[in-house]
A and B are shown apart, each in its own frame.
Chain A
């Protein structure tokens, strides 16, 4: 264990400070073409009459691709995890979010590529978009996805992620008060300093060397292989040097599109997104809508939680069902609540599809839970540290999905917070630790949720 606590040099430290780190856009291959995209200017529309002939005829344009050029148009990033495909690589006859790519041009220089995109003809018929997840259930809401307005393919073809534990009805009956709250964190853009970029170099034997900024290299290999219907041994992927990702580069499609352009043109093709594209068209952290109702006793025990979560997936599913699943497992946050009734929906809107961002699925519910705990303390007139320490996860407590805690950190963290804020805890609280519940810390309602931490 020589490494723990030691000052180890970063393996890329010297490269970074001497400007030698080679990011995708720093790879220089002679003859590389520039790429620009025709993107939907509308939130929701059908389109027809896609005419790329003028673009293709322009001097300096070497390839133009659209949906018709993609061997397998729809392939899900997480097909292997049971989330079926729903998103076309390039839009075929409709667009479901502003910025959705419809066609791509590879040309000798940036200016030509931009001019060629302007020369692509297409006729849009605008549709009413759905932009508010709460409206997805309205009778008159536009139906915007082939599966309906929310994801229906959880296990057993359920249309929501459900957690049921104990008896929520009993908890609500026994409660002294029900404390309610609604929490709606907004979308967050990752803003990696390096915008999304890919460079694909074709070899004469049909193999492609792909330089990608993806955070999920092995996923991306599978995605390219599937869309192009190529065996994996035709792909050489060079990755791992990323100028910031934070979750925003797990669903990249630039390498797939550049691969198609490279095949069609026979030339190396690079696509580097502008900062505007990165802000307007790249996937974000999802906005969430969470409704929480906690059954509490007047001395600060949380008997039960009833919760509804709507996760805004944007126009397509991508990783949202996975994010919502993690969210559901953590929906009680750092606290032990024995009776649970959770329903979570992945709702589609005509927004840019959402994706992972640090703490995918969980930061939302942490925010909601912590705010809600403070609200409970406020409503009951109790100390916010004490309410947290009572209900804190302890060894032997079980999570919403029945994982038994073997080393939960809630108690030491709350005590450290109190210390940092110069708050003196009452002696019984100052004496608390994370050990298995007993005595006053084990009221009747928490007995049934205990499990043997050794048995895990």
Chain B
């Protein structure tokens, strides 16, 4: 079997019923998608298959032979972060970071299909993704900012700039 992962063609030796998550992590050494539950309940394993967000832990690799798979490594390197990656960084949308890869790809796909900064729509689109650290507010802030096309200066250390209103979701 064969997959194109982040633009690179990779041969796959694993058995066809092996989950895409195991193929990526164990066979191909792509470790950004995480094994949070291996039941599709947490979203930490989400990758893009043909541009669509999908749970890698639920996908038998045999079903997607030949597909294009995008993981977070394919969004952008540190020197050239994509808009969602910049937004997450600027808005402190990651704490332990374990859910971040899945969140980023779900957000990326949401914006690609025309998603706006409407907070309810963002919540609905990302509702398959569990975060135990942040309480979600900053994640939604970040996705809304990226959807709006906000630009960020990640070098700034200006006091108070851009901090979320502690009074709640605006």
Contacts and interface: CB of A to CB of B under 8 A. Distances in A.
Contact, chains A and B (beta carbon distance below 8 A): yes
Nearest to A278: B37
Given A18-B72, A193-B96, A7 B157 contact: yes
Given A7-B159, A18-B85, A19-B72, A272 B97 contact: no
Contacts of A272: 35
A275 B38 CA distance: 8
A17 B104 contact: yes
Interface size classification for chain B: 35 or more
Interface stretch (B48-56, B60-68, B116-124, B128-136): B128-136
B85 A246 contact: no
A9 interface: yes
A275 B99 CA distance: 15
B64 to A, nearest CB: 20
B94 A10 contact: yes
A236 interface: no
A192 interface: yes
B132 A246 contact: yes
Given A10-B94, A19-B32, A193 B156 contact: no
A16 B96 CA distance: 8
A15 B97 contact: yes
B110 interface: no
Interface stretch (A23-31, A127-135, A224-232, A364-372): A23-31
Interface string A134-163: 000000000000000000000000000000
Contacts of B154: 9
Nearest to A191: B132
B34 A194 contact: yes
Contact of A244 (B72, B85, B88, B132): B132
Contacts of B44: 193
B15 to A, nearest CB: 11
Interface string A1-38: 00001111110111111111111011010000000000
A23 B94 CA distance: 15
A82 interface: no
A10 B98 contact: no
A18 B73 contact: yes
Contacts of A242: 96
Interface string B108-120: 0000000000000
B31 A17 contact: no
Interface string A237-257: 000001110100000000000
Interface in B131-170: 131-133, 154, 156-163
A26 B31 contact: yes
B46 interface: no
B96 A243 contact: yes
Nearest to B161: A7
B89 interface: yes
Contacts of A9: 89, 154, 157
Interface in A320-342: none
Central interface residue in B31, B38, B41, B75, by most chain A CB within 10 Å: B31
B36 interface: yes
Interface in B66-114: 71-73, 75-78, 81, 85, 88-89, 92, 94, 96-101, 104
A100 B60 CA distance: 33
Given A193-B42, A244-B133, A16 B94 contact: yes
Contacts of A19: 31-32, 71-73, 100-101
A5 B76 CA distance: 30
B39 interface: yes
B29 interface: yes
B36 A275 contact: yes
Nearest to B32: A19
A45 to B, nearest CB: 29
Given A9-B89, A18-B72, A28-B29, 19 more contacts: A7-B162, A8-B157, A12-B97, A13-B89, A14-B81, A17-B85, A17-B89, A17-B100, A18-B77, A23-B34, A191-B130, A193-B34, A194-B96, A243-B34, A243-B96, A243-B97, A246-B132, A274-B38, A275-B41
27 contacts: A5-B159, A5-B160, A7-B159, A7-B160, A13-B94, A15-B97, A17-B81, A17-B88, A17-B89, A17-B94, A17-B100, A17-B104, A18-B75, A18-B85, A23-B98, A26-B25, A193-B34, A193-B36, A193-B131, A194-B36, A195-B35, A243-B34, A243-B96, A243-B98, A274-B38, A275-B38, A275-B42
Interface of A: 5-10, 12-23, 25-26, 28, 190-195, 242-244, 246, 272, 274-275
Task: Rank and list the top 8 A-B pairs by shortest CB-CB distance, nearest first.
Answer: A19-B32, A16-B97, A243-B98, A19-B72, A275-B37, A26-B31, A16-B94, A5-B159
